[in-house]
Chain A
Amino acid sequence: MKTKTTVGLLTVIVLAFAFTLPAFAGDEEKTSSGSATVGNAAPTVTNPMLHNVAGTSDLNNTALTVNTEYHVNCTITDSNSLMDILNITWYVFDGSSTTYASSDANATHYTFKYLNSTDTWSEVGPGPSNAHIVTGSCSQPGTKTGTSGTYHLAFKLALTANYTTVTTQWKVNITVYDAAAASGNVQTVMFAVNAYYLLSLTDTTHAWTGLAAGDTNKTLTTPVDGSLDMTVTSNNNFNLQCKGSGDLTSSESNTIPIGNVLIHKDTLASSINMTVTYANCPGNTGLSKSESTATTVTLWLSVPSGTPSGTYTYTLSIQAVAS
């Protein structure tokens, strides 16, 4: 029989099993690179309007006058913002003979351009040197962060811009391009062009000297070549017409009838008697429009017998009219 005695070492430790605030040291962070590709929206042109310089009247489908400032306004819209605009081109052209893509010419075609990157306006043609654009009157939106804005073109037609009474003959095409070469355009502004004639008389005086009563069909002694020289600028074919102010009259009130003055471009045989009303000057009818058409008017005078001596005067008037 045995007795068991157990002797052991017992270590009793009482400690708190405590909690503290969670530690976040183990947080894990990663990244993903993201990108968004925003597509290009083509710009649009809307609300084109043709105004006078005051911007107070709608001149669409009316007649414009050459060498007069007009405005074409339009609204440009681009969902990618106006900053996305590359340029805007205004084509002003005579639709009867050209398209917007035709070459520039004073008579038929004008190209104006706005460049967004520099905010500059310019005349592409016909020129020269922005002759037909009024850059100081052109304008664009002050800020381009928006998606639409109004652009103003100020232009003048050349003196020789084709005359027409058809109010839809001249057209304005506005084409806008964005940075992605997408474009939009409108061509709804149309107008006519008033006729324009400018006659410049080189010989402003003329005279017959050394006449005697009974002389017939005497040519002018001044100018010595016997003809009055002149040039005509016009945007329309024209006739030259002449008239006299009345009978040639002396200081003693003696007269030589106005009908004694014959008129023709240069040929006596085809001449006609001058009257006190405008009549076509033979040989100067159906002249073509041009920047400068040079022509002459020749006068012949017959002095009736018995005409007292003296100096007789009158006024000759010349005009260009549509032929």
Chain B
Amino acid sequence: MVCLVLSVFEFGLVPTVKAQSWLTGWGYRKSHVINYASGAGTLYQVKITCYYGSGTDSGGSVYLNSHSRTDFGDVRFTDNDGTTLLDCWMENYTASNNAVFWVEVADDLSTVDATIYVYYGKSDATTTSNGDNTFRLFDHFDDGSLNTAKWDAGGVGTIAESGTVLTITSGNTVNDHKYVTSDLIYATGVAVEVFSKTTYTAQGSAWEGMAKTKGAESNVDFTLAFYYHASYTPFLYNSGNGSNYDFFQTALAKDTSYRRSSCKRSGTTDKLIIEGAAERTGLYPTSVNRYVTMDCYTLVDGAPAQILIDWVAVRKYVDPEPAHGAWGSEETGDTAPPTYSLPATPYNETRAGYAARFDCLWNDNTNVTTSYFCTNNTGVWSNSSVTMVWVNTTAAWANYTITLNSTVGVVVAYLWNCSDAVPNWNTTMPMQTVTTTYYASLTINTSSHTFSLNPGDNNITVTEGSISLTITSNANFNVQAYGADLVSGSYSIPVGNLLMSQSSLASAVNMTVSYQNIPGLTNQASGSNLSKSFVLWLSCPLGTRALTYSYTLHVRVVIAS
């Protein structure tokens, strides 16, 4: 069973080079020596089992000291330069326990030991497991139909690829033979790794391994590590050289469980093994090239054979295989999370409903990669990835712009998180707050206004007709005004002789020297560039000198209570 690892978070920023010989962003690594083996050459696949917990590294087993992701999605292998990634495929994993990897070693293992590194400890990393890149032939049968670039199908019966399983079923008639064979034929020096099972243990015959020809049916033409037959209780091995064959009953009884099998050919040596049984060296090996084959055969009418293959991989194989050598001790990369410093003005806006940009400066000993801005501005907490503005390689401004809650007086909480490339996350920032504020802009279009009247005149309308305003307000608002006595030298007209109202004299109020609401202009709906106006009336007392009196009208916009 293969476990794919998905992550909740996908961090888009790719770290730049952190330090020479270190895979940027990863927190830990161990070196491992792969001993050379004659004929192994380059691009040899070796199996390494990674354990999540702690233990003593040995052979192909390495312990990651709980520093990896529990799904092992952050495990990487590099060449001995520490940075060149090696192709690998994760055969399976058990969360928080172990994962089995096949690693394609780039160096020539024929005569010289090779050193590789296993990296781990990057919480945001997801697996890069890739069987196609790792093996000479690989198929997980997860693309919905048989890949004819890899396989040929023949015989009588059916094949179906669904999910991640290829199902091969022979026909219902005796001697119906259904097979799927690799397009390519392989010389010795390869191993066929298969994860498969059968549906029927008591009918037909089915096998997987290597065949001399496509559609071959004779035991002498097969090298098989997964082989069952209705007439035999256990799983079988088969080793044939075209003339003779070794038909061997393993100690493993047939069942319908997925079984891991390996059919390995090197030179004139066959080695066969199925999970649960001992490996056997075939008695009739051959150096003749052979195809990878998966077959079903009906022995009795109405009782077809059927096998299900989860995956197949063809890898390089020499006998003996390159052995696992020494493991280095765990090396530590960057574990320090970034640190933050909030600027004196961490946001540039407080007005409700306006766009506010929040800033935070992050520093890291290597580099900052990702920052999240978290806020309950909308009433619900949300995280948003932010754009980083680099100051240098180790410092970056995180900027994020939100439209502040449109309600005035709301305390909006926010905070920043940030990680470096490892990633080491800093989530320690205490909650910050910003209180949305009221905002209004006011333009008095009637920048000056006049009255023309005589002593004794009452309620003379301002010459301009009204005082015109343009208002932008982010909340419902009142318009208020105040004035002062109209003065000319030592003479004056009392401010109370001014009346003001939006339009109705009957509802007008006497102006005073302090702000008061203008009747008709209270609780006005918020909006932008709103046109408003109000009227002024002036009464001139008898005895008022024939002069020009002046005063200043003050108008303001305040939030409606």
Contact = CB atoms under 8 A, between A and B. Distances in A.
Interface of A: 1-11, 13-41, 79-81, 83-84, 145-147, 178-180
B70 interface: yes
B5 A22 contact: no
A83 B489 CA distance: 14
B5 A7 contact: yes
B57 to A, nearest CB: 24
20 contacts: A4-B3, A4-B4, A5-B3, A5-B95, A10-B8, A15-B381, A19-B407, A19-B409, A23-B408, A27-B558, A28-B440, A30-B444, A35-B451, A36-B450, A37-B451, A38-B546, A39-B453, A83-B545, A179-B546, A180-B546
B540 A9 contact: no
B239 interface: no
B546 A22 contact: no
B376 A31 contact: no
Nearest to A39: B454
Given A5-B95, A37-B451, A38-B549, A27 B9 contact: no
B206 to A, nearest CB: 18
B546 A30 contact: no
Prevailing SS type, chain B contact patch? strand
Contacts of B446: 32
Contacts of B450: 34-37
A125 B323 CA distance: 144
B48 interface: no
Contact of A11 (B374, B452, B462, B474): B374
Interface string B540-554: 101111111111111
B131 to A, nearest CB: 12
Contacts of A146: 543
B313 interface: no
B486 A1 contact: no
Nearest to B474: A26
Given A17-B376, A33-B447, A26 B437 contact: yes
Given A1-B1, A26-B440, A34 B411 contact: no
Given A25-B437, A28-B556, A34 B4 contact: no
Contacts of A25: 350, 437-438
B452 to A, nearest CB: 5
B374 A13 contact: yes
Given A15-B376, A23-B408, A31-B555, A38 B1 contact: no
A2 B410 contact: no
B413 interface: yes
Contacts of B9: 8-9
Interface in B362-412: 374, 376, 379, 381, 383, 407-412
Contact of B543 (A4, A13, A79): A79
A34 B552 contact: yes
Nearest to B484: A34
Contacts of A5: 3, 5, 70-71, 93, 95
Given A11-B374, A32-B447, A36-B549, A24 B435 contact: no
A41 B408 contact: no
Contacts of A10: 8
Nearest to A24: B438
Contacts of A15: 376, 381, 413, 431
Nearest to B377: A17
A181 to B, nearest CB: 11
A9 B381 contact: no
A7 B95 contact: yes
Given A2-B4, A11-B383, A34 B553 contact: yes
Contacts of B493: 36, 38
Interface string B476-519: 00000001001000000100000000000000000000000000
Looking at chain A's contact residues, the main secondary structure is loop
Contacts, number: 227
Contacts of A29: 442, 554-556
Contacts of A23: 350, 408-409, 435-438
Nearest to B381: A13
Nearest to A29: B556
A22 B552 contact: no
A176 to B, nearest CB: 15
A24 B5 contact: no
Contacts of A38: 453-455, 493, 540, 544-549
B553 A31 contact: yes
A256 to B, nearest CB: 81
Contact of B443 (A2, A7, A30, A37): A30
A2 B95 contact: no
B442 to A, nearest CB: 4
B454 A9 contact: no
Contacts of B185: none
B521 interface: no
B348 interface: no
Contacts of B431: 13, 15
B7 interface: yes
B65 interface: no
B8 A8 contact: yes
Contact of A26 (B411, B412, B438, B547): B438
Contacts of B8: 6-10
B527 interface: no
Q: Which 10 A-B pairs have the closest CB atoms?
A: A8-B8, A26-B439, A40-B546, A79-B455, A81-B543, A36-B451, A29-B556, A23-B437, A28-B442, A18-B411
B486 A34 contact: yes
B518 to A, nearest CB: 13
Of A4, A8, A30, A36, most B-chain CB atoms within 10 Å: A36
Contacts of B5: 4-5, 7
B153 interface: no
Contacts of B449: 32-35
A26 B540 CA distance: 36
Interface string B404-437: 0001111111010100000001010001000111
A90 to B, nearest CB: 24
Contacts of A18: 410-411
B159 interface: no
B69 A17 contact: no
A39 B543 contact: no
B435 A32 contact: no
Interface centre among A28, A41, A80 (most CB of B within 10 A): A28
B448 interface: yes
A51 B409 CA distance: 79
A36 B546 CA distance: 10
